[in-house]
Amino acid sequence: MARKEFEIPVMYKSPIIRKVKEANQITDPRKKDLSPTELDFGSVKFLIPRHFGFCYGVENAIDIAYRAVEDNPDKNIYLLSEMIHNPTVNEDLQEKGVKFLFETDGSVRIPFDTLTADDIVIVPAFGTTLEIQEQLQEKGIDPYQYNTTCPFVEKVWRRGNQLGKKGYSLVVHGKHEHEETRATFSHSADHSPVVVVLNPEEARVLADIMTEKRPLDDFDTYFGHKSTDGFNPFKDLEYFGVINQTTMLATETQEVMDILKEAAKERFGEENVLNHFADTSDTLCYATNENQSATYALADAKPDLAIVVGGYNSSNTMHLVEILEHHCPTFHVRDAGEFDSSEQIRHFNQWEKEIQITENWLPSNPQPLRIALTSGASCPDILVDEVLLKILSFYPDAKDLQKVISRYEDVAAETE
């Protein structure tokens, strides 16, 4: 089946990275090769992963949102919250008159009582809760006239609904305050008891409560604020499945599944585990898997440092940073504006949750310096281009850009 083509604004399209991606699609159409592409500029080399940037869900959201603006020039247009976690895209939509009803943490920016039935409200790529959906419908607004919910998020909801109909409870691997997890929790709680776990460490706590290695009171301490009312881990985890926030580390989701499956084996016996624990590995997002696998391959190429471009509240971007920072100095930047010079860079530290300034971030040795360059799934490739060009400006003796990328243009030309 051919991939759906989306209308993406020209300003987001990349003249550099696009050519590399197109050449890779031609030479490796089955996506078997995860080795990064090397752009050799002599004094500096950029390692570009096989998979990164806009995913299907993000392209779908951008297509629908910009079409909503174009179709309704005389109407008030609102997004429930940031459509995707990229400031460039969200700021452009705001410049076009789109207003946000909520902050990303769920706090109200514009009260619902100011809306009318003539207004357009766009559901973001993360989806929304059933409660908000009902409030909009009560105002006479169809929340799904322009629905940018990622199809892979909806796939998670459908899988959860299938399990709910069979009497299963749900464990959601995700960040309970994230818009997507709030939406998934709401849709899941409509039919099942639900609890959210953040990481394997929390999964081990839940497993110990299940198997009575920890007291039941620990459940309220760790999970009371992110579970459905009256959730009982003894009763409600007798039959359960694990679903996930699609932007989490896929390896972590699998680890959460494995930990809880082992607890189910211990409690119910290995011969009975498949009657109690549902296999939900089919809910892992393909784009998250591809991007993270390509990032592991990027790390294996042993770069001297890494730059990851993306919004500072982007969960999937932060996981790419997490993968790379185990292997080399890694800087998370929102765009090329974070580089004051080759001596100083502003970047986001997700562990301290703050913007930091690092001096002498660009070492003079080794020569050539090998820089891994990638971006999150909500980041336009043009921003990666701009970062690449900004770094190249610090190397006046670098090879000519057009000569370096011409080989990728030639690959595309040969197939025409």
Active site residues: 180
Q: What is the CB-side half-sphere exposure of residue 318 using CA atoms within 13 A?
A: 17
**How long a stretch of residues is the chain?**
416
**101 close to 81: Cβ distance less than 8 angstroms:** yes
Residue with tokens 């998670």: 156
**Cα three-residue angle 163-166-169, rounded to 5 degrees:** 55
Residue 281 is given by DSSP the state G
Contacts with 405 (C-beta within 8 Å, 6 or more apart), sequence order: 16, 19, 20, 39
- Of 31, 8, 157, the C-alpha closest to 86 is 8
Integer CA distances (angstroms), 389 to 21, 328, 401, in order? 17, 22, 9
ω before 233 within 30° of 0 (cis)? no
Q: How far apart are CA 142 and CA 139, in angstroms?
A: 9
- Residue (of 271, 319, 329) closest to 296 by Cα position: 319
Q: Pairing state of beta strands 120-122 and 77-79?
A: parallel
Pair of tokens at residue 52: 């990164």
Q: Write down the H helix ranges in 108-150.
A: 130-138
CA torsion through residues 311, 313, 318, 319, sign = negative
**Whether the Cβ atoms of residue 334 and residue 8 lie closer than 8 Å to each other:** no
SS3 content of the chain, % helix, strand, coil (to 5): 45, 15, 40
- CA dihedral angle for residue 250, residue 252, residue 255, residue 261, rounded to 10 degrees: -80
Separation in Å, CA 129 to CA 40, 126, 132, 151, 365: 47, 10, 5, 16, 51
Are 18 and 383 in contact, with CB atoms under 8 Å apart? no
The CA-based diameter of the chain, rounded to the nearest angstrom, is 68
Q: How far is the C-alpha of 197 from the C-alpha of 252, rounded, in Å?
A: 11
